[in-house]
Chain A
Amino acid sequence: MTRAALAALLSHWARNKLQLAMLLAGLALATALWSGVQALNAEARSAYATAEALLSEGATARLDHPSGQIAQESFGALRRAGWLVSPVLEARVTLGDARVTLIGIEPLTAPPGAGPALAAEDLAAFFSGRGFAHPQTLREIRDVPREIRPSEAVPVGTVLVDIGQAQAILQSDHLTSLTLAQTQPEGLRPLETLVPELRLLSPGEGAELAGLTDSFHLNLTAFGLLAFAVGLFIVHSAVGLAFEQRRAMFRTLRALGLPLRTLTACLATELLLMALVAGAAGLVLGYALAALLMPDVALTLRGLYGAPVPGALQFNPLWALAGLGMALGGTALAGAQALWRLWHLPPLAPAQPRAWAHASARGMRVQSALAGALALLAIILAVYGTGLLAGFLLLAATLLAAALAVPLVLTTVLRLAERAARGPLAEWFWADSRQNLPRLSLALMALMLALAANIGVGTMVASFRATFIDWLDLRLVAEVNVIPRSQDEARALEAFLAPRADAVLPMLRVEAQLSGQPAQIYAMKDHATFRDNWPLIDPVPQVWDRLAAAEGVLVNEQLYRRSGLRAGDELDLPQIGPMPVLGAYPDYGNPLAQAVITLPRFSEIWPEAPIRQLAIRTEDAPTLIAALQDEFGLSAAQITDQAQAKEISLAIFERTFVITRALNLLTLSVAALALFAALVTLAGMRLAQLAPLWALGLTPRQLAGLELTRALVMGGLTMLLALPVGLVLAQVLLAVINVQAFGWRLPLQVFPGDWARLGLWAALAVLAAASLPALRLWRQGPAQLLRVFAHER
């Protein structure tokens, strides 16, 4: 009996293959997007762990110097005093075609775990020049100038060499840090008396990658969840529809004596089977999607945070299980209503799929109330909420409130249109649209969500881009930038350039803690370059004069916002003490806090800080570059001109949002599919309503045209509704999420051209979704329509 019942239930899908395909595709897509995003997150996180394990920064403390350089004698002095320290030299260099982080380590003294790449390798070869790099980095370097072996244990973008080799490559006799072994002998002289100039960093510090990138991953997760929710709309509508269509079958089965319990169990089993099949397919899709997007995610993370993430994806069975669990959970959520309704269905309930329409008036009231409550929550969160989580909750509440309000708004609009309509056909068109709304509303809500997300994220990205380009133009005013190989060369360059360039602006910095955050303090030479070009937020009067007089500091926007500073507040600087904040400057794309003081004061406090870069102002950049190359034999990697610098920055920016755009497009596709599913299933049931019109003289072609028009009108109304929601979303992203996640606030700019393009896309999506049912209607011919009147329905 059970088997027969199950076979009868499943036969529905054999007769409605498209509906089955929709259900499976919806669930598979939802699972794919969600699990794909999770795979990206997991991969990135494991990359951070690799990076931290390399220098055991996750587990061991380190010593460093504010100038970024430690004299090698300090290493010897500490070892002779019994301290188990190991030298590290780290720097960004150009190797072959790639810009990489060169890390020099000393394998004999390095803490355990530091030399995984070295296991079984020949130490002598390592000492005399063999390096290790991630296979991907090795491919990026392409024309490898020295022996570098591939090793998965080395983080992406890093080349691991012996400390002596690193010093030779960098022409340095310094170190950048000393790692401390976890257990030290007892009774040693304290570090403070042995090396008072060095700073002890506890194990957690300097390994902030996971914390810094949290916001990025939260962002991805939110997107995955949104896509999943949209996918569930499809499943819900397909399951709900299948339920309605099988009312007659349920009645028959019950009448034949099938217990309600068994019937419900059969239906649940059916759902479970579908969830398993679609979930598995979704996992495969999700993995493929993640593998496709991984290179861009990796580039984004490297560009934004310097996080060494490989572009390749690894398979993790736990991830697959979680994805399948999500598919099962989602199906249960989407099918719960149908099961619940079946459980409460009287055995001889009418086999008419009408219950929904009747129940919809009451449902609408509940839904409106819910939308109102969520809107209220959003307002409360907007006013009182703090933190990234509150920001995302605000986003979720806004989106849900707007989605739930869709049917209410559309009903109102359609009613108004109906009133304004002239002629019976127009009146019927609006009235009929309104009557169909309950069945379409879920798909329209999904479409609204996807469109709003598109507008919101698109506006955010475009606003950011516009601001970023303006800012780059102001920031990158120096015509030529030179990276000196050593301090002797830096001084020689300064002397050489003094009579030849309009200005030479040295870049010096020290690492520090500011307001408890990892930060950098920069030196700024008083020059028109900065006075004329640097945009400032909340500057005090005569800000540049006061900065030049060492009367205060400028801070970057990240520090300004995260620490809630205001102009005039005091900021505690190491070795200087409190100084008033004179203003803040935008500093996009930098995760760290920054402060700027005037060069003379900086040099007093940190006379040993090395010059890392020289920004050169000149009228004739090509001549100067040629002179520098002749005189100093500078390599191409050491000299960057303005155009190159801008190009690099912009390229990083563009790659940053590739992933966002891709997810946006996918969400929109899922929404279009939801609409398609709803329209296809609706079409079959609407025959009874359309047949009388045909009988009254409308041709099938006219009817099909009307159906298409209806879909477009609904889509258009949804798009109009999505516009303000999207703008609110963009504003929340710019003013709340960005500030929390990155530390900068951007002005909202509107780009109607983008909306027009999106509108066009949406229209195309709606047309694509509506065309198949319309085409069917057109092709159906009189016989089908006539049968409506003959059939006992």
Chain B
Amino acid sequence: MGRGGLRQRGCIWLLALLLALPAPLMGQGFAGLGADAEGFAVPERGRALDFPTDHGPHPDYRIEWWYLTATLTGADGQDYGVQWTLFRSALAPGEAEGWASPQVWMGHAGLTSATGHFAAERFARGGIGQAGVTASPFHAHIDDWHMTGHARPGEDVLDRLELHARGSEFHYTLEFTAEGPLVLQGDQGYSVKSPEGQASYYYSQPFYTVSGMLHLPDGPVEVSGQGWLDREWSSQPLSPQQLGWDWVSLIFDDGHRMMGFQVRGREGFTAGTWITPDGTPTPLPDGALRFTPLARTRINGRDVPTSWQIDWPEGGLSITTEPLNPSAWMDLSVSYWEGPLRFTGTHEGRGYLEMTGY
């Protein structure tokens, strides 16, 4: 569960909608193979992902997301970060026409600068055209927010994306161009999230270069930088003993990439992927990564560790991260911390940090 089954902080009914944590999962054992009790499909190890079909929605699975982040630098010399996410959550497996569709969509958009953080959200029912995703040609939207593919023949449909979102105080339009291949996380895209074996399908496109315009309350800024797309779908939430997670995507100055997360709980669980500049992934097993909180920030009545030391002893990596803006709290119906960072130590670069369950 890299991202998504977010711990609820807002409306109660949204909790019911987005989490609907089925307690019996723990007792089912065997990594929850086969369909779960409510008829949702469950990820299976060894199933090969199929593109472009798998870029599209999987309505038989409970949860799914299209998750873009970008670390940007403006023409004004300032750092910025952008997040754009479309979540799909199924109340029941499958799809139906009109209001009868059991699919619910939620969009989140974030824009962070050193001095400000803006967040917006959108909700939509499936089946009526207010939100949805088509794989080829690629188009994901909720209301006027969209992620539209403009790939050329022979390219992956996600290779060129136009991204747009609008809140009451901000809006942005950005172009994403992939400079490398898709990367499958975990075991060929089968990503395990807990010692009990909860898992999801998970792949990324971590090689985007980005350019475009941000419109902030102070005026427009032309920006350029690097972007990262995560695609994940599953029907298995965290195990009941797991409280939340800390997740990073790191883009090294030397062209390497790394994804890492820890799930916090009675038994901690970590996983990650080391990605070479040509896109070759090396999965990092449970315990390979060490996350140590360094500094905490008080936001919205919560103590959130916004600066981290991350160690991968076997890879000779030891870095400390500094957030661009420690107050990057996504104060939405479902709330969490998400913002851009810079890191120093044995390696240097920029990245994105997401923390839930605080």
Residues of A within 8 A of B (CB): 72, 75-76, 79-82, 84, 106-109, 115, 118-124, 127, 162-165, 167, 183-187
**Interface set of B (CB-CB < 8 Å, partner A):** 11-13, 16-17, 91-92, 98-100, 102, 104, 123-125, 128-130, 141, 143-144, 166-169, 171
Residues in B whose Cβ lies below 8 Å from that of A76:
128-130
Q: How far is the CB of B308 from chain A (nearest CB, A)?
A: 34
For residue A106, which residues in chain B have a CB less than 8 angstroms away from its CB? Answer: 125
Contact sample, A vs B, 22 pairs, CB 8 Å cutoff: A75-B130, A82-B143, A82-B144, A106-B125, A108-B104, A108-B125, A109-B123, A109-B130, A115-B13, A121-B13, A122-B13, A123-B16, A123-B17, A123-B104, A124-B91, A127-B91, A162-B99, A164-B100, A165-B99, A185-B166, A185-B171, A187-B166
- A120 near B12 with CB under 8 A, answer yes
Is there an interface contact between B13 and A109, defined as CB atoms closer than 8 Å? no
Query: A80-B144, A121-B13, A185-B171 are known contacts. Are A167 and B91 too (CB-CB below 8 A)?
Result: no
Q: How far is the CA of A82 from the CA of B143 in the complex (A)?
A: 6
Known contacts A76-B128, A127-B102; is A185 also within 8 Å of B167 by CB?
yes
Closest residue of chain A to B20 (Cβ to Cβ) is A124
Please measure, in the bound complex, the distance between the C-alpha atom of A120 and the C-alpha atom of B143, giving whole angstroms. Answer: 26
Check if B128 sits within 8 Å of A124, measured CB to CB: no
How far, in angstroms, from A76 to B144 measured CA to CA in the complex? 10
B10 → chain A closest CB, angstroms = 11
Contact A186 B168, beta carbon cutoff 8 Å: yes
* Nearest Cβ on chain A to B17's Cβ, whole angstroms: 5
Rounded to whole Å, the gap between the CB of B122 and the closest CB of chain A is 8
For residue B167, which residues in chain A have a CB less than 8 angstroms away from its CB? Answer: 185
Q: How many angstroms from the CA of A377 to the CA of B36 in the assembled complex? A: 83
Pair A107/B13 contact, Cβ less than 8 Å = yes
Give CA–CA (A119, B14) in the complex, Å.
Answer: 9
Q: How far is the CB of B133 from chain A (nearest CB, A)?
A: 15
Q: Closest residue to A77 on the B side, CB-wise?
A: B129
Taking CB atoms, residues of chain A closer than 8 Å to B100 are 164
Instruction: Check B13 against A123 for contact (C-beta < 8 Å).
Output: yes
Q: A108-B125, A119-B12, A187-B171 are in contact. Are A80 and B143 (CB under 8 A)?
A: yes
Complex CA distance for A124 and B125, rounded to whole angstroms: 12
- Would A79 and B102 count as touching, CB distance under 8 A? no
Is the Cβ of A108 less than 8 Å from the Cβ of B143?
A: no
Chain B residues with CB under 8 Å of A123's CB are: 13, 16-17, 91, 104
CA distance A122 to B123 in the complex (A): 16
A84, A108, A119, A122, most chain B CB atoms within 10 A? A108
Contact indicator B144/A81 (Cβ below 8 Å): yes
In the complex, are the beta carbons of A72 and B128 less than 8 A apart?
yes
Complex CA–CA separation, A186 to B169 (angstroms): 7
- CA distance in complex: A127, B11 (Å): 17
A76 to B131, CA, bound (A): 9
Beyond A123-B91, A185-B168, whether A79 also contacts B143 by CB under 8 A is yes
Assess the A164–B98 pair: CB atoms within 8 A: yes
Nearest first, the 10 A-B pairs at minimum CB distance are: A164-B99, A82-B144, A108-B123, A124-B91, A120-B12, A79-B143, A185-B166, A123-B17, A76-B129, A79-B130
CB–CB A167/B99 < 8 A: yes
Least Cβ–Cβ distance between A422 and chain B, in angstroms: 89
Q: Which of A81, A109, A165, A187 contacts B124 (CB 8 A)?
A: A109
Q: Name which residue of chain A comes closest to B127, CB basis.
A: A164
Given contacts A119-B12, A120-B13, contact A82 B124 (CB under 8 A): no
Whether the pair A163, B99 counts as a contact (CB closer than 8 A) is yes
Chain A: CB-nearest residue to B98:
A164
CA distance A770 to B143 in the complex (A): 80
User: Which of A109, A119, A185 is most buried by chain B, counting CB atoms within 10 A of its CB?
Assistant: A185
The residue in chain B whose Cβ has the minimal distance to the Cβ of A80 is: B144
Q: How far is the CB of B20 from chain A (nearest CB, A)?
A: 8
Cβ contacts under 8 Å, A75 to chain B: 128, 130
Extra 9 A-B pairs, beta carbons < 8 Å, given A109-B130, A119-B12: A79-B143, A108-B124, A119-B13, A121-B13, A121-B16, A124-B17, A124-B92, A164-B98, A183-B168
Tell me whether A79 and B124 are in contact in the complex, defined as CB-CB below 8 angstroms, given that A122-B16, A123-B16, A186-B168 are known contacts: yes
The CA-CA distance from A72 to B97 in the complex, in Å, is 14
Minimum Cβ distance to chain B for residue A677 (Å): 59
| Residues of chain B with a CB closer than 8 A to A183's CB | 168
CB distance from B14 to the nearest CB of A (A): 8
- Residues on the A chain within 8 Å of B144, using CB: 79-82
In angstroms, how far is the closest chain B Cβ from the Cβ of A190? 15
- How long is the Cα–Cα vector from A738 to B102 in the complex, in angstroms? 53
Q: How far is the CB of B38 from chain A (nearest CB, A)?
A: 10
Give CA–CA (A120, B141) in the complex, Å.
28
User: How far, in whole Å, are A662 and B317 apart by their CA atoms in the complex?
Assistant: 87
Given contacts A76-B130, A127-B102, A185-B168, contact A119 B11 (CB under 8 A): yes
Q: Which residues of B contact A124 (CB under 8 A)?
A: 16-17, 91-92, 102
Min C-beta distance of A595 to chain B, whole Å:
36
Question: What's the minimum C-beta distance from A129 to chain B, rounded to whole angstroms?
Answer: 11
Q: How far is the CA of A108 from the CA of B122 in the complex (A)?
A: 9
B335 shortest CB reach to chain A, Å: 16
